[in-house]
Amino acid sequence: MRKLAAGNWKMNGLKADGTALAKEVVARAAGAPLSCDILICPPATLLDRVAAILAGSAVALGAQNCHTQQKGAHTGEIGAAMLKDLGCSYVILGHSERRAEQGESDALVRAKALAARAAGLVPIVCVGETLTERDGGKTLDVLARQLQGSIPEGLAGGELVIAYEPVWAIGTGRTPTTAQVAEVHAHIRKGLAGQVRDAAAARILYGGSVKPSNAKELMSVPDVNGALIGGASLIAADFWSIAEACS
Ligand code: PGA
């Protein structure tokens, strides 16, 4: 399956450095086309500018959140149709930072995923266990529950992306062993089979401290179909090196 290298810029980037970063990614994509899909997800404030930079390139645009409704009286929120209108094709949903900071539940993530699909966006639904859950031997149960609750029924595998991001690996420099990643990704693939049509076509990304130094090893694990990259996606050379490992 063609892998996806997705950069999650989180709440980083002002006009100057954000546009410079996007231009550098586009220049690298033009210089050396890769056999993977490339996506960057800047903060909402930069989407319009970055869309103009990505136009005509092989780099896709994504957002980091959307509302459950497309429009209406929801002060401060952004609807999926608005993101589509800006040129987005993906939206990250249920990231552990939002689950923790905004208290997003599985049911909310599911409603957002439905809204994303209705607007023609591909949701990247994030799941992952905390360190306490892993140490307590609950990882697979937690992931099964999150998947069950966060993924709408009736979708086909190609209409969504799952990102497995162990909470304890995000921004910490720690990564699971390849055996742990393999176990979880196989578990997710199996669980998806009961939830979506053609589950084999769903891309399952690994995320959490992916770096140029560990990307090749992580991307070689069975059922790892790409990476969701946080910190390293803010440095064009590092992001590109990881994309090459996806290629
Ligand atoms: P990280 O973040 O690569 O900085 O660990 C990944 C993510 O949260 O998507």
- The reported pTM is 0.98
Give the pLDDT band (50/70/90) at residue 16: very high
Residue with structure tokens 């599911």? 110
Mean pLDDT along residues 79-96: 98
Give me 57's structure tokens.
């390139």
Higher pLDDT, 33 or 18: 18
Return the residue whose CA atom lies nearest to atom 9 of ligand 1: 230
Query: What's the rounded Cα separation, in Å, for the pair 111 and 193?
Result: 20
Catalytic residue at 165?
A: yes
- Is ligand 1 within 6 A of the CB of residue 128? no
Residue for token digits 């092989």? 58
202 lines ligand 1 (CB under 6 A): no
Separation of CA 124 and ligand 1 centre (Å): 14
Q: For residues 204-222, give the mean pLDDT.
A: 98
Check residue 153 and give its pLDDT: 92
Identify the pLDDT of residue 54. 98
Q: What integer is the mean pLDDT of 30-40?
A: 95
pLDDT score at 98: 98
Q: Residues 155-183: what's their mean pLDDT? A: 97
Of 67, 95, 185, 187, which residue is the catalytic one? 95
Domain formed by 4-246, architecture: Alpha-Beta Barrel (3.20)
Residue 82 pLDDT more than 90?
Answer: yes
Which neighbouring-strand residues pair with 147?
none
Q: 126 pLDDT exceeds 90?
A: yes
Average pLDDT over residues 205-231: 98
Does ligand 1 lie within 6 Å of residue 209's CB atom?
Answer: yes
Report the sign of the C-alpha dihedral through residues 54, 58, 59, 60, in that order.
Answer: positive
Q: Has residue 105 got a pLDDT over 90?
A: yes
User: Which alpha helices (DSSP H) does the chain contain, by range?
Assistant: 15-31, 47-54, 80-86, 96-101, 106-118, 131-135, 139-150, 178-193, 212-219, 236-246
Indicate if the pLDDT at residue 32 is higher than 90: no
Please give the mean pLDDT across all residues of the chain. Answer: 97
Ligand 1 atom closest to the Cα of residue 163 is 9
pLDDT tens digits, one per residue of 131-154: 999 999 999 999 999 999 999 999
Domain locations in the chain?
A: 4-246
DSSP code of residue 40: E
Neighbour count for residue 141 (Cβ, 10 Å) = 13
CB of 8 within 6 A of ligand 1: the answer is yes
Phi, psi of 210 (to 5 degrees): -75, 130
